[in-house]
Amino acid sequence: KTFSFKNLVAMHPVSFIVGQRGNELAVHKNFKFYKCSFVEYLNCNKWRCCRRCCGARIYIPESSSEVIKEEGGHNHALVSDTTLQKENVSNSLKRKATSSLSERPSKLIRSQMKDDVSYTLTDISNFRQCLYRERRKRLPPLPKSLTETHDCLQNARFETARKEKFLLVNDDGLVLFSTPTNLKQLSSSKSIFVDGTFTYCAKFFTQMFTIHSIDNGHFIPVVYSLLANKTTKAYETMFKATIKESCELGISFTPT
């Protein structure tokens, strides 16, 4: 027997959002519902109110955004449009936080905010904390010592957009970043220039030291290194490591 929708209530539109756990939720008349089962005789999915103490249910056909049947009443207040919008932003940011790791939090937050909703500074702060919490769940914990830092780098894979190896040296208080292309650029430069900063440096290291080549009148950073201290030996070790890596790639780099 074919079931007819004529005996049911008039269809009402419904919207769908992503819940806190990444599951799909239906929003109907400013109440949220989760999918619980499929009802064969109606050829519909049954959705229950997200509040545990509430027995309200709605029925939505497959591949539809219309409610064809409602059962029970809500025993709690509805959710305001503003609250729904803010919850949707938070839940969207949870997904974006891990799928777009290289994007700045401020850019991700702006991309999800709606122009027709008023946000407070507290809302934006909550969005940012939500994003950071989600990223911390997926990313490895920060190292607590220099040894742990070397171990973390050893187990990681560093490549440029051109698929070139980027981490060349990771040993005994020295981390050296460069690529074969950069080292070739360095070897072809008649003069090299160096720079170092102590203010902006990774934790457990003392200095970030860079080597620059010059090309068409432009200074180009080609080697980045993290040094555990600022002794003469540290600089010698860094330059020797750069020369050694160049030689292994068949590149002649002999600074004088």
Distance of CA 205 to the CA centre of its chain: 26
Is the distance from CB of 45 to CB of 106 less than 8 angstroms? no
Within 8 A by CB and 6+ apart from 117, the residues are 82, 85, 86
* DSSP, res 112: H
Decide: 191 and 254 in contact? Cβ < 8 Å. Answer: no
Distance, in Å, from the CA atom of 97 to the CA atom of 114, rounded to the nearest integer, reads: 18
d(CA 78, CA 122): 23
CB proximity list for 256: less than 8 A, separation 6 or greater: none
Short-list 185, 104, 101, CA closest to 135 = 101
Determine the residue type at 109.
I
Q: Which of 102, 97, 100 is nearest to 132 (CA)?
A: 97
3-state secondary structure of 100: coil
The backbone region for 162, taken as left when phi is positive above 0, alpha when psi lies in -120 to 50, beta otherwise, is alpha
Q: How far is the C-alpha of 150 from the C-alpha of 113, rounded, in Å?
A: 39
Tens digits of residue pLDDT in 175-200 = 999 999 999 999 988 888 999 998 88
Model pLDDT, residue 62: 85
| Alpha helices for the chain (secondary structure H) | 81-99, 105-112, 121-138, 146-155, 180-187, 232-248
pLDDT at 60: 92
Where are the chain's structural domains? 5-71, 81-138, 146-248
Secondary structure of residue 220 in the 3-state scheme: strand
Per-residue pLDDT in tens (0 to 9) along the chain, 256 residues = 444 444 445 556 788 887 877 788 999 999 999 999 999 988 899 999 999 899 999 999 988 888 999 999 999 999 888 888 888 888 888 888 878 877 888 888 888 888 778 888 898 999 899 888 888 888 878 899 999 999 989 888 889 989 999 999 999 899 999 999 999 999 988 888 999 998 889 999 999 999 999 888 889 999 999 999 999 999 999 999 999 999 999 988 877 6
